Structure 1
Amino acid sequence: MSLRCAIFMLVLLGPVIHHAVAEPPRDVLDTLRAGHPRLFVLDDELPRIRQAIRDQPLAERWLATLQDKAEAMLDEPPVEHVFATVRPRLLDKSRLALKRISTLAGLYRLSGDKRFAERARKEMLAVAAFEDWGPRYFLDIAEMTTAVAIGYDWLFDELSDDDRAVIRTAIIEKGLKQSLPLYDRQKGWPMVSHNWNQVCNGGMTIGALAIADEEPALAAKIITAGRDSIVRAMRTFAPDGGWPEGPGYWNYATRYNVFYLAAIEPALGTDFDLKKMPGFAQTGLFRIYNTTPTGRQFNYADGHDYTNPAAQMFWFARTFNQPICAGYERDLAEHRPSIFHLLWFDERGRSPRDDDLPLSAVYHNIDVAFLRSAWNDPDAVFIGFKGGDNAANHSHLDLGTFVLDALGHRWALDLGPDDYGLPGYFGKQRYSYYRTSTRSHNTITLDGANQNRRAAAPLIAFETSPQRSFAIADLTEAYAPKVTSARRGMALLNRQQVLVQDELDIKSPAALRWNFMTEAGIELDGATATLSHGDVKLTARILSPADARFEVLSAAAPAQERQQPQVRNLSISLPAAAGKIRIVVVLTPGGDGADPPAIQPLDTWSKQ
């Protein structure tokens, strides 16, 4: 009998448990759910999941996909304690263990196939025997603790007493106790507000909940410390749900933030009111806005432009009654589900267009704006534009940069991160590298220099209408003390043309360069450039200064850095000058048939 048939025969009537939200008890373990499983998904919820698999063709296909992966895992050797070659860490092994254990244990819970439980047991015992879980980088420990804690909790009744003792000891000694010096001294990741906070607090709390009945004092200490610490990271979502580290780290941070919440609520009967924190309920929409009509991302910071699945979107859909998040994720993850896509499956949800989601949005907490001409149209115009903070974690010196998609192609691109193993990539040498420097981004350089490392660039104006949607960033801090003021406006006109307008007041003569990184073919004709992806065209035209001309520059990086031979820089170079300078460029997808807009000072944009 197939696994799918077995699951269909196991469909049972039963209520879906809705976990009540309560105030934190005097002792965090007073309300600990007895027995196992207690993390993420309770046994009472399995009938709903089996019913969804029976009723929903996509859920059935996902089950088949995960079953195939699990069958392959049966013959694979367990992970080994082997460090990565470039950076001495175990993170890839931790993630592989998490993928295997959660998939195998989750499918066992759905089907009762003991082969999967036994293979997950072997994986847990193998990593429990490691000499350590990578103490140099706590992310390695956190993700391995998550992996083993899930297996311990979900397979508790399938493990022998000896197995439980070995696995529990590993969780405690190689996972939980490694966090105590940091919690006690209030140093390192417990004090930061970026992804490390959510991943490490999430991993430690999940581990503590798994063994809380056997080691209550240790578990209570870690759960309390984690609760107090994760608030720092969750404040970053306020007020509207944006994330400063880019889309890839949004996925990582929210995955573990949701893991944390999805673990404490069934285990303790409370979420400590964390779901009510400003901006968190809106962050699923941020992911939708950050995804372009072609399915790529606005990949600012150390972000890649491809889009990875995020099962937490289903959790957002159910928790905050946002079916649009579920509809989005079903489309995206159709061929790449995780076990959590199946366990949190939500069949509701329509497209952003059908839900009347506004076309454009601004995220004031990170000073990023998204402008688009349509939803559900792969040829639509999309602009991702950022001010932001150069001091943010994983930031590049890229204030004022943007990406542009139209007619099914990316025209202005962000190169993304370089190799994390480069010397000083997260230290003093970080902004000496091409990809993290100002000169590789679609913004302005003065005298070829980087922007100020501590500069912030607020979006000082944002408006949207069918005729004109725009955002304006104040870039003055980025170029101080060379400028009295610097601003960039990005506008989408009549849902067709894109206007890029820069206004600077330069104190003393400085050479200015305007940059536009592209993989498109380029043909120059003075103040006009025709870009092409095959037969698809986009025209760039300089409207100001009148004597400015386009040129094509190399985008090559130094030899030891990541190369991008297919990328070139469509640039405007102005000789050293002081005083007020205005650069206006209009970008027209599909050719140059539309009339250029009249130039209006940025101060007047809100008055039109």
Structure 2
Amino acid sequence: MKLRQFLFQISLFGSSLIVCGQTKHIPETVPVASHPRILLLKGEEQGILKSVSVDPNWKILHGNIIKEADEIIGLPTLERIQIGRRLLDKSRECLRRVFFLSYAFRTTKDKKYLLRAERELVKVSQFSDWNPTHFLDVAEMTMGVAIGYDWLYDDLSLSAKNIIKEAILKKGIEPSLDSKYNSWLKASHNWNQVCNAGMTYGALAIYEENPVFSNQIIERAIESIKLPMQDYKPEGAYPEGYSYWGYGTSFNVMFLDAIKKVFNTDFELSNTAGFLKTAGYFQQMIGASGKSFNYSDAGNGTGLSPAMFWFANRTNNPSLLYLEKQYLQGKDKSMAKDRLLPAAMIWGKGISLDKLIEPKELLWVGQGKNPVAMMRTSWSKPEAIYVGLKAGSPSVNHGHMDVGSFVMDANGQRWSMDFGMQEYESLESKGVKLWGMAQNSERWEVFRYNNLAHSTLAINMQHQRVEGFASINSTTSKPNFLSATTDMSAVYNGQVASAKRGIAIIDQQYVLVKDEIVANEKASTVRWSMLTPADVKVIDNQTVELSQNGKKLILKVIQPANKTIQTWSTKPPHDYDAANDGTILVGFEANLSPNTNSTLEVQLIPEGAKTKSKSQVLKDWK
């Protein structure tokens, strides 16, 4: 029976190897450590405890994990309750619980954590399945169960070990060999990173049961994960944005660290062009208001990222933890809900957080599939100005029609904002075909997803072109003229002949948004809009006053002369759209005569700032 089962596994696996084009990386005779072998070897807990004893920042983080582990002990074990097509919330909670409890046991040796973790592990291992039709669910569950099995191996009961080991193989790894479930092997987005990491953790956890088979799973992952890692080229911008960086990149480094721990190499994967630079991208995505540049399908939350500790360690650059230290010291009230939080202790131990140097870069630009530029006047001054400019394409995975959109902070407030994502189940449960990416797909009817709800342009109230792409064309990095320009013509193809946008922070005082448009042979109307959470008061046909939380900002339209200042409601047009309370679109409309050149120029002026009356044409922003 076991032989037949093994042959079945290998036959299934053979088909997935053909799909992936596998190359051999791992020597057949490589020695593999006994348990625990994943992330934290036996005895390495002492390094963590030493950091906790000498650095109050690490003491805070360690204490948060132990406190949360104590809370988990009192919770009922998870039940297999699926929401729509996902079991993902249960998989993520299993990973969180097991990682926290296993960490608590290894650092305190208190058996209450061991016993509670064993109960959870046995319970989820006895689920009917881990929902392979949505394979992220399987991947995260497998990772959680694998960590628990590996870290607690010497202390688990024999009956529990047998149940858990069988579940890792049958409900975790085996479904990944079936072509019905493993299309992620050829994907270049976060699914590839998460699923390959989960399967590798499963294979490492039960390695001694069948080293050849486990090596094949890991070999497959090493080759497959190269696809999404190529997308960090050239500077590290992550195509799917802030939230999905937190997801895909975190699991990517979980994978890299695990294989390096076992095989003493990550097979040069971390040296992929752009990958080690991507921590700079993530750090720059947080504005002076503390809010993220949440373009595309990003959520609105921010907080401590365990992956940043890996990058700081790997690149020997503690300044990458400048914001993470602030989160540790109270800015992130929900860090204990991060299922990967114990990894921060593993990767960060030994790094002193006492005297972190403020980052130096005031301008950061990343090209690639979804180019972006971020600029700021300071990292530490509360009145600092911050701007994030989005170029790229709506066609990127999780993309929106948001090319040319921008967020802007000043005086601690976010003035130009982005809605980010709408929760997927809220749309899928109402029959919205959310994942079609063609020009006429239902996805673009969702209010938050098209350009009519972003701080960008609309021509005759039409949608941007899905297949269009815009790069960051030029930048300037002088402190008194921080700028970036993008040519958006391709996303307005057929609507205008040319559309270019530049955004600059002038004299560290105010923001200039400048558009240069060449109309085609037809007359048209351009709408310039900015999405804001502020209260809006139209002063005259050139000036708008925005106010929030006792702060003010002036929106001043310098060009064109003939325009109509307006506001537009963000009330959802469909019953499936999310509510957008407390927001409004403000801007103007202007007519474009056939075959003419037009300039749109808007100043965003924080209270008390001084401005200039003239600006250069975009081609001279160099």
Fold shared by both chains (TM-score > 0.5): yes
1:108-167 residue CA offsets vs partner (Å, 9 max, x unmatched): 111111110111111010010000001120000000000000001000101233222211
Cα distance in 2 between the residues matched to 1:546 and 1:176? 64
Mapped to 2, the partners of 1:385 and 1:36 lie a distance apart of 47
In the alignment, which residue of structure 1 is the partner of 2:64? Answer: 65
The code of the aligned residue for 2:472 comes to L
2:362 corresponds to 1:359:
yes
Aligned partner of 2:121 in structure 1 is 124
**In the alignment, which of 604, 607, 621 is matched to residue 587 of structure 1?**
604
* Match 2:152 to one of 149, 152, 155: 155
2:278 is aligned with 1:278? no
Once the two structures are TM-superposed, the CA of residue 186 in structure 1 deviates from its matched residue by 11
Number of the residue aligned with 2:568: 553
User: CA separation in 1, counterparts of 2:478 and 2:613?
Assistant: 16
Deviates more, 1:91-100 or 1:423-432: 423-432
Mapped to 2, the partners of 1:32 and 1:241 lie a distance apart of 34
Is the partner of 1:390 in helix, strand or coil?
Answer: coil
Which runs of 5 or more structure 1 residues have no equivalent in the other structure? 1-23
> SS at 1:483's partner residue?
coil
8 Å contact from structure 2 (residues 175, 181) kept in 1: no
**Structure 1 match to 2:78:** 79
Q: Deviations over 1:216-247 (max 9, x none)?
A: 23212211111110000111111111101110
Aligned pair in 2 of structure 1 residues 96, 33: CA closer, same or farther (>3 Å)?
A: same
Aligned to 2:584: 568
Superposition pairs for residues 252-267 of structure 1, below 5 Å? 252-267=247-262
Q: How well do the aligned residues superpose, as a CA RMSD in angstroms?
A: 1.8
Query: Structure 1 pair 32/495, CA: closer, same or farther in 2 (3 Å)?
Result: farther
* AA in 1 matched with 2:607: G
Q: Residues 404-443 of structure 1: matches in 2 within 5 Å?
A: 404-421=408-425, 422=427, 423-427=432-436, 428-443=441-456
Contact 2:289–2:412 (Cα < 8 Å) also in 1: yes
Shift of the alpha carbon at 1:38? 0.4
Q: Distance in 2 between matches of 1:123 and 1:536?
A: 50
Other-structure match for 1:45: 44
Deviations 1:322-368 (A, max 9, x none): 1112343222244425222223334435788x455121111122310
1:565 Cα deviation (Å)? 2.3
1:174 partnered with 2:171: yes
Amino acid at match of 2:372: V
| Aligned residue type for 1:396 | H
Distance 2:283 2:352 in 1: 16
TM-score (norm 2): 0.90
Q: Does 1:481 align with 2:480?
A: no
Deviates more, 1:560-569 or 1:116-125: 560-569
Q: Tell me the equivalent position of 1:7.
A: none
TM alignment of 1:201-240, pairs within 5 A: 201-240=196-235
What is the rounded CA distance, in whole Å, between the counterparts of 1:95 and 1:246 in structure 2? 21
Q: Cα offset for 1:444?
A: 0.3
1:164-563 matched pairs, under 5 angstroms: 164-182=161-179, 188-334=183-329, 335=333, 336-337=335-336, 338-346=341-349, 347-349=351-353, 354-355=357-358, 357-365=360-368, 366-421=370-425, 422=427, 423-427=432-436, 428-507=441-520, 508-524=522-538, 525-558=540-573, 559-563=575-579
Letter in 2 for 1:447: N
CA contact (8 A) 1:369 1:385 kept: yes
- Map 1:82-161; keep pairs closer than 5 Å: 82-84=81-83, 87-161=84-158
Mapped partners of 2:586, 2:125: distance in 1: 54
- Would the alpha carbon gap of residues 369 and 88 (structure 1) be closer, same or farther in structure 2, given more than 3 Å must change? same
What's the TM-score once normalised by structure 1's chain length? 0.92
What letter is aligned with 1:165?
A: N
**Equivalent residue of 1:156, what SS?**
coil
After TM superposition, give the deviation of residue 187 of structure 1 in Å.
6.0
1:71 to 1:50, Cα distance in 2 relative to 1, 3 A: same
Deviation at 1:526, TM superposition (A): 1.4
Give structure 2 stretches of 5+ with no counterpart.
1-22
